[in-house]
């Protein structure tokens, strides 16, 4: 293992060695603009996030809640393209030296070309991809090209996932496993719930021997929730709360300051496990 997939693994291992969870942030590319999105992502990383997921905006984001759907719509109406997503990855990674992944639905990659996308993502310094709607049993072509270009393949598991499916996913995935804390779409929640802790336990049991980290997303929006999840997960994933800070800001400068501040608050939270 080498390249930026190693950087991703080393970052998660370092957080574990510091007896804390990693903070993983999500923001879509092209939101509020391509340049503004790059600055927001750099601010989140500078503010305390260990890893960032760059969303590839999609016209039918079926797993995303209204906050991220709104941001995706703004990005798409602004004309964002895959080239802009890759530029966002490159500039965020170059500026911060931290791992940057792309989170995307399968259709845009399939249309763009798997080999072309994986090659260009690796060249941009990307650490890998999170593919929420790609079934593991249909992922062989993707994984072949991801391995060729030393990219992580992160699959998503849910509370409804049976143990046999968890075992299949942990055997095929790399980097980490994305554990969705509850059934439903993305968005902030009043509480993350006990389902997430049980899912992490079951996922780890199937990944015995591989040591694949399990990171929890969907619903975390503040330092208290981050601390709760950090008590049982290897990483805490926060998306909608960052997007909402940008949506609620009066201008770009205020939005940049708001997401940097939230990253700092959440970074303190994951250290209170």
Cα separation, 89 vs 130, in Å, equals: 14
Segment 54-79, tens digit of pLDDT: 999 988 766 777 899 999 999 999 99
- Which pLDDT does position 186 carry in this prediction? 44
Q: Encode pLDDT of 90-106 as tens digits.
A: 999 999 999 999 999 99
Looking at the predicted structure, is the pLDDT value of residue 167 above 70? yes
Q: Whose structure tokens read 């980097």? A: 175
Contact 118, 145 (CB under 8 A): yes
Is 183's pLDDT higher than 70? no
Q: pTM of this prediction?
A: 0.94
Pick the closest to residue 93 from 49, 148, 142 (CA basis): 49
Average pLDDT over residues 40-45: 98
Distance CA 85, CA 37 (A): 10
Which domains, from first to last, does the chain contain?
A: 4-271 (3.20.20.70)
Bridge partner residues of 128 (DSSP): 101, 152
Supply the pLDDT for residue 218: 78
| 236, 192 contact by CB (below 8 A) | no
Judge whether 84 and 30 are in contact, CB under 8 Å.
yes
Pairing label, strands 22-28, 51-55: parallel
On average, the pLDDT of the chain sits at 92
Tokens of 132: 């929420």
Most confident segment among 4-13, 182-191, 206-215: 4-13
Query: d(Cα 92, Cα 235) in Å, to the nearest integer?
Result: 20
Is there a contact between 89 and 100 (Cβ–Cβ < 8 Å)? Answer: yes
Is residue 190's pLDDT more than 60?
no
Q: Residue 186 has which token pair?
A: 């993305």
Average pLDDT, stretch 32-56? 98
Residue 25 forms beta bridges with which residues?
52, 238
Q: Which of 74-78, 117-121, 189-193, 261-265 has the lowest mean pLDDT?
A: 189-193
Whether the pLDDT of residue 83 is over 60: the answer is yes
What average pLDDT does range 254-265 have in this prediction? Answer: 98
265 to 18, 37, 43, 113, 162: CA distances (angstroms): 18, 20, 13, 39, 35
**Mean pLDDT on 105-125:** 97
Active site amino acids: 53, 64
pLDDT at 52 over 50: yes
């Amino acid at each position: 293992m080498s390249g930026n997939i190693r950087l991703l693994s080393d970052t998660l291992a370092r957080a574990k060695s510091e007896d804390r969870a990693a903070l993983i942030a999500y923001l879509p590319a092209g939101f509020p603009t391509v340049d503004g999105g790059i600055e927001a992502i750099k601010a989140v990383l500078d503010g305390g996030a260990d890893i960032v997921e760059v969303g590839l905006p999609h016209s039918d984001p079926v797993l995303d809640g209204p906050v991220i759907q709104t941001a995706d719509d703004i990005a798409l109406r602004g004309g964002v393209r895959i080239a802009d997503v890759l530029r966002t990855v490159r500039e965020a990674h170059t500026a911060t030296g931290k791992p940057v992944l792309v989170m995307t639905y399968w259709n845009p990659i399939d249309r763009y070309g798997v080999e072309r996308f994986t090659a260009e993502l690796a060249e941009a310094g990307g650490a890998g991809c999170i593919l929420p709607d790609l079934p593991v049993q249909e992922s062989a072509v993707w994984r072949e090209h991801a391995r060729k270009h030393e990219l992580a393949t992160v699959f998503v598991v849910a509370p409804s996932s049976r143990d046999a499916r968890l075992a299949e996913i942990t055997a095929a995935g790399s980097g980490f496993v994305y554990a969705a804390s509850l059934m439903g779409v993305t968005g902030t929640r009043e509480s993350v719930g006990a389902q997430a802790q049980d899912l992490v336990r079951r996922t780890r049991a199937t990944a015995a021997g591989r040591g694949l980290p399990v990171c929890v997303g969907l619903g975390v929006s503040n330092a208290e929730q981050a601390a709760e999840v950090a008590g049982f997960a290897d990483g805490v994933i926060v998306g909608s709360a960052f997007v909402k800070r940008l949506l609620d800001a009066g201008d770009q400068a205020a939005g940049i300051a708001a997401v940097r501040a939230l990253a700092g608050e959440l970074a303190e939270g994951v250290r209170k496990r």
